[in-house]
């Protein structure tokens, strides 16, 4: 085990090179709906119990199923209304179980990225070969069902190994060259994109995907009220918009169709979306588009700045 992940260098949030998003936007804003499939009777994993109750664990299972049966449509209509294309963190087995949902997202040209096979199959305990196979399966499923070359990754249930990011990037290259496997949502260390060190040396970035703004963290962990969640979204945006004048920032709202679309919560979410998209200097986009834009225009500049500071201040 390592003392630190080693994916990135220390890069202070001041005196950074200025990032400007397309059309002079200050904030790149993206919404990442997690569209997940949780199994009723998943196999055991020695490191994490899938459900708190013996099978069938109805509270957790039924809530997730509700999201696919009821919630997905509600969120999709809301994103349509505000001109937002979702960037889907996908349990890729859902392509087999619920192709109707995949079709609806395809029609809207939403982005699909890999969130593993099921959200009840954890990376913990996998050998490197097993994890590679799982990741490959997920990227191939996305390609087969959507025609998209999967650019991004969020490990299933945020379960990682030391190899996760390396494997994702390598499988992407193996399948589709540089067109796939080039960004991750798994790291929460920054409000701007960060170049990531991989063993392959592939150009690869971390795109901020906020756990703090994640509806499941807000509702299940923080147990916030819907109105407070809506308010937090607006305040998160306000600060990032203000700072984005200095150098472009990223705001992500990661959602789950079983949380944010509940009848008693959706209004607060809608108010935040209306507020955010009502600002002029906002680039409403997807995870992949942010990663591509950053890599094309800022990756080298940022890398140089990070390297120069590391040299000057001796960051280890």
> What residues make contact with other proteins under the rule CB under 8 A?
37, 39-47, 52-59, 61-63, 65-66, 68-70, 72-74, 93, 96-101, 117-118, 121, 125-127, 130, 133-134, 137, 219, 223, 225-227, 262-268
Beta carbon of residue 220, minimum distance to other proteins (angstroms, whole number): 9
In whole angstroms, the minimum distance from the beta carbon of 54 to other proteins comes to 3
Nearer to other proteins, 127 or 315 (CB): 127
CB atoms within 10 A of CB 39: 18
* Least spacing, CB of residue 7 vs other proteins, in Å: 24
Residue 157: both structure tokens together:
């249930």
Nearer to other proteins, 221 or 301 (CB): 221
Distance between CA atoms of residues 12 and 93, nearest Å? 40
Least Å distance between CB 203 and other proteins? 29
Task: Report in angstroms how near the CB of residue 44 gets to other proteins at its nearest.
Answer: 5
26 vs 74, beta carbon nearer other proteins: 74
Residues with Cβ within 8 Å of residue 44, at least 6 apart in sequence: none
Q: Which is nearer to other proteins, 127 or 242 (CB)?
A: 127
Helices (runs of H) and strands (runs of E) counted in the chain: 11, 9
Q: Are 134 and 157 in contact (CB under 8 A)?
A: no
- In the numeric block, the tokens 């971390």 are attached to 206
194 Cβ neighbours under 8 A, 6+ residues apart: 8, 11, 187, 205, 206, 302
Q: Which residue number, 189 or 227, has a Cβ lying nearer to other proteins?
A: 227
Peptide bond before 56: cis, by omega within 30 degrees of 0?
A: yes
Rounded to a whole number of angstroms, the minimum distance from the CB of residue 257 to other proteins is 11
Secondary structure (3-state) at 180: coil
| Minimum distance, C-beta of residue 117 to other proteins, in the bound complex (Å) | 6
Q: Which two tokens stand for residue 114?
A: 């890999």
What residue has token string 């809301």? Answer: 78
Q: Which of helix, strand or coil describes residue 10?
A: coil
d(CA 207, CA 57): 34
Instruction: List, as one string, the DSSP characters of 28-81.
Output: EEEEEEEE----SSPPP-TT--S-SSSSS-HHHHHHHHHIIIIIHHHHHHHHHH
Q: Which is closer to other proteins, CB of 263 or CB of 316?
A: 263
- Judged by CB, which is closer to other proteins: 121, or 149? 121
Is the CB of 262 or the CB of 285 nearer to other proteins? Answer: 262
Q: How far is the CB of 288 from other proteins (least distance, A)?
A: 26
């Amino acid at each position: 085990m390592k003392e630190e992940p080693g994916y990135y260098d220390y890069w202070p949030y001041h005196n950074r090179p200025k990032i400007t998003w397309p059309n002079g936007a200050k904030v790149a804003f993206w919404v990442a709906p997690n569209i997940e499939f949780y199994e009723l009777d998943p196999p055991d994993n020695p490191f994490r119990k899938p459900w708190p109750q013996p099978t069938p664990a109805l509270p957790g299972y039924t809530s997730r199923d509700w999201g696919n049966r009821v919630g997905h449509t509600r969120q999709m209509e809301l994103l349509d209304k505000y001109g937002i294309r979702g960037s889907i963190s996908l349990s890729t087995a859902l392509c087999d179980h619920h192709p109707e949902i995949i079709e609806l997202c395809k029609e809207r040209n939403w982005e699909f990225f890999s969130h593993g096979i099921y959200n009840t199959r954890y990376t913990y305990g996998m050998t490197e070969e097993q994890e590679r196979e799982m990741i490959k399966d997920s990227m191939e499923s996305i390609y087969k069902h959507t025609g998209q070359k999967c650019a991004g990754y969020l490990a299933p249930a945020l379960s990682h190994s030391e190899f996760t990011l390396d494997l994702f990037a390598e499988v992407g290259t193996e399948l589709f060259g540089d067109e796939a496997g080039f960004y991750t949502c798994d790291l929460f260390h920054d409000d701007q994109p960060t170049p990531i060190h991989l063993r392959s040396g592939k150009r690869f970035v971390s795109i901020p995907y906020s756990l703090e703004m994640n509806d499941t963290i807000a509702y299940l962990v923080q147990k916030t009220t819907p109105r407070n969640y809506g308010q937090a979204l607006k305040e998160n945006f306000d600060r990032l918009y203000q700072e984005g004048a200095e150098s472009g920032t990223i705001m992500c709202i990661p959602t789950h169709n079983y949380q944010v679309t509940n009848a008693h919560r959706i209004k607060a979410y809608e108010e935040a979306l209306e507020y955010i998209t009502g600002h002029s200097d906002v680039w409403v986009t997807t995870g992949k588009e942010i990663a591509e834009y950053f890599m094309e225009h800022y990756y080298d500049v940022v890398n140089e700045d990070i390297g120069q500071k590391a040299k000057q201040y001796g960051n280890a």
